[in-house]
Amino acid sequence: MSGVSLAVAPRSEADQSKVSGMTSQQKSSHRPQQDQTGGVMGSLRVIELQLVAFIMVFSASGLVPLLDLVFPAFATAYLFALSRLAFPAHGKTNAPPEVFHNSKLFRFYVILGTTIGLFFPLAYVLGGFARGDDHAVRSATPHLFLLSFQILTENLISGFALFSPPVRALVPLLYTIRRLFVILDWLQDDVSWYWFGRSLAAANLAYFSINLLVFLIPRFLPRAFERYFSERDEMHSKAAEDNYAKAAAKQSKSADEKKSD
């Protein structure tokens, strides 16, 4: 998981009920927190624009292989198909699945992944441009391209009720699996800045392998499916109760009509 979409989670229903029960003085004191949240959301919009700029530059540079250029389109089409055919949303806004909520360890884990996966490779590519080292730039650019698309997709998909929790959880899963192969190519191909480039590629390979095998598959994905099916069962039970109530009302109405006759 890139971690950006988990940085700002929508307020839960319990929090909104607390706000609705506040007095006017308490609401006025609560307003600066809302303004702060709005500022964070605004900064996320800026991040998305920067990611779009990165994607356009990487695509136009000719440094990204055709397979990696096509992969985001395939992943997007596949996610749309899943959201329509396999895991449709239940008609209400679903917040992204929260894992390790308010955990300092998880925040450190996210910051570490952002630093290793985004900031250091970006500095490596910019350094390659400055040194005129096309080989270093070509080795690390596909990873940055796919990671930028992953973060952008996570941010955009979390704002639409069209996508259910399993579909949202599959976004980092699909991109991480593809990026592991890209990082392996980077590790084998990079001969410039030998120790730094190889060490950075090895660090990304280790981090995202742990992310996939320890976090995404055994922890994040099952919780997303658990949330999805619990919401589906709740919706089905509510529909069954409504149908039972309607049937009981019809029976009582027909019984009253017979008595009147």
Q: What is the pLDDT of residues 102-130, one digit of tens each?
A: 578 888 988 999 999 999 999 998 888 88
Q: What is the pLDDT of residue 102?
A: 59
Higher pLDDT, 212 or 162: 212
Per mean pLDDT, which range of 157-161, 165-169, 253-257 is the poorest?
Answer: 253-257
* Inside any domain, residue 11: no
- Angstrom distance (rounded) from CA 225 to CA 83: 13
- Angstrom distance (rounded) from CA 172 to CA 133: 30
Sign of the Cα torsion 57, 63, 68, 69 reads positive
| Mean of pLDDT values over 194-217 | 91
Q: Which two tokens stand for residue 143?
A: 């990873």
pLDDT at 260 over 60: yes
CB 177 within 8 A of CB 97: no
* Inside any domain, residue 259: no
Q: Could you tell me the CA-to-CA distances from 139 to 52, 69, 189, 251 in Å, in that order?
A: 21, 15, 7, 73
Residue of 148, 132, 128 whose CA lies nearest to 196 = 128
* Inside any domain, residue 138: yes
Query: Residue 51 class from Cβ within 10 Å (0-12 exposed, 13-18 middle, 19+ buried)?
Result: buried
Which residues are paired to 163 by β-bridges? 88
* Inside any domain, residue 211: yes
- Helix orientation angle between 194-210 and 134-157, rounded to the nearest 10 degrees: 20
pLDDT at 240 over 60: yes
- Angstrom distance (rounded) from CA 139 to CA 184: 10
What are the pLDDT digits (tens) for 50-80? Answer: 888 888 888 888 889 999 999 999 999 999 9
pLDDT at 7 over 80: no
* Inside any domain, residue 81: yes
* Inside any domain, residue 36: no
Q: What is the pLDDT of residue 129?
A: 85
pLDDT at 161 over 70: yes
Q: What is the pLDDT of residue 57?
A: 87
- Which DSSP category does 22 fall into? S
* Residue-wise burial string across 215-253, b where 16 or more C-beta atoms lie within 10 A, e elsewhere: bbeeebbeebeebbeebeeeeeeeeeeeeeeeeeeeeee
- Angstrom distance (rounded) from CA 89 to CA 79: 12
| pLDDT tier, 243 (very low <50, low <70, confident <90, very high otherwise) | confident
What are the pLDDT digits (tens) for 25-40? Answer: 444 444 444 444 344 3
* Inside any domain, residue 70: yes
* Inside any domain, residue 216: yes
pLDDT at 100 over 70: no
- Angstrom distance (rounded) from CA 224 to CA 153: 17
- Angstrom distance (rounded) from CA 56 to CA 28: 43
- Which DSSP category does 88 fall into? B
- Angstrom distance (rounded) from CA 149 to CA 55: 7
Number of domains in the chain: 1
| Mean of pLDDT values over 231-256 | 72
| pLDDT tier, 45 (very low <50, low <70, confident <90, very high otherwise) | low
pLDDT at 237 over 90: no
- The mean predicted confidence, pLDDT, of the chain is 77
Residue 200: give the domain boundaries: 43-252
pLDDT at 17 over 50: no
| Mean of pLDDT values over 229-245 | 77
